[in-house]
Amino acid sequence: MKLRQVVDDFKVEELSDFKVSDSGKYKLYLLEKRSMESFALLGYLSRSNNIPVSGFGIAGLKDKHAVTRQYLTVPSRYEIKNPAEKNFNLNFIGFVDKAIEIGNLTGNRFEITARDIQKDELQSMNKKAGSVNAIGIPNYFDSQRFESVVKNKFIVKSILKKEYEEAVKIFLTRYARHESSKSKEEKRFIAENWSSLKNLNIKNPLFAKIVNEYRKTDSWLLVYKKIPLNLREIFTSAYQSYLWNECVKDVLRQTIDKKNLYGVEYAPGELIFYKNVSSDELKDIPATFKTISHDIKPSEFEEKIIDGVLSREGIGIEEFNIKKETENFFKVYERNVIVKPADFSMSLLGIDELNDKGKNNKFKVTLSFTLPRGSYATLITKRMFNS
């Protein structure tokens, strides 16, 4: 099975309920783009229209390797002079009184084409589609949430353990495959010369700023706080999301017969999915589970699960109180344990023209469904295309 062989294989459309009028403080556009990263496009629109990047409002980042439709606002005083170019198109919808902020959407509609499917796989896929429709899937945070995590090193875990030097070292020396060769080279250079960090000539402006703070203060905590706040917030949410996933995995282990559970790899490790769930087992799965923070008020069941997860992590609940030291904090909120896609369907599109090579034995299918905001379409593909 192959996903995203061409950009049209992954389509996502934002669902919103804006109250549009003939006048207002902000202009509302429907942005259609293909093969473009959201921040890169906003930067381009900013430069070409003399609009500050902060003036653009979007509800969420959409995949680069996809065809996407999402809403965008700009203050009414600005004009977008280039609403249509090769890889994007901005359609003016009307005016709204408030700028769009992250999370201002009701959900997303997806259309995902999977290719290189054998004929004997189609029957099992139909069965899985019925299962997804009937009992949903675990509502995990998927790999996209963990792009700041390299080789399972969570920066904020080091902060919780007051290992501030280790946190800074991870940031300055660990790199992912998608990073530029220039960034990788500098991080390798820093790692190889860590013991003489103060004497290094650093080219990257942010890295240089961080190292300069170490020269001035000798305080690894102050050095850590030189990492931009928005990045530190990403580190915090990544670890909290990972812990929530671990909790949900333990929930499933305790409520579902293990013969109906199986693992699927994702960025920080492994997720657990279920194949079948009895009505009694479904009743035992809580509707929601809280995210972990020092001021959480867990139910008895949640407390037992959380204690087990934190014991494996070697961390106590009281260590999550880091706001005073770092200006970051872990927010408690409830997230649905199970998510059921709405309007789910699977359509057989026939022979896969990209992979069949004239043998008439490779097929393509399209999955169409709607998910609430914060849920990951890639989990549907993990469930559908892994046994």
Active site residues: 63
In the beta sheet, which residues pair with residue 119? none
44 Cβ neighbours under 8 A, 6+ residues apart? none
Query: For residue 288, which amino acid is it?
Result: T
Q: Using the 8-state DSSP alphabet, how is residue 83 labeled? A: -
107 Cβ neighbours under 8 A, 6+ residues apart? 15, 342, 370, 371, 372, 373, 375
Report CA-CA distances (Å) from 385 to 114, 125, 130, 197, 293: 9, 8, 14, 47, 34
H or E element: which one contains 235? Answer: helix 229-255
In the beta sheet, which residues pair with residue 309? none
H or E element: which one contains 68? Answer: strand 67-75
H or E element: which one contains 13? Answer: strand 10-15
What angle, 0 to 180 degrees and rounded to 10, lies between the N-to-C axes of helices 377-384 and 122-135? Answer: 130
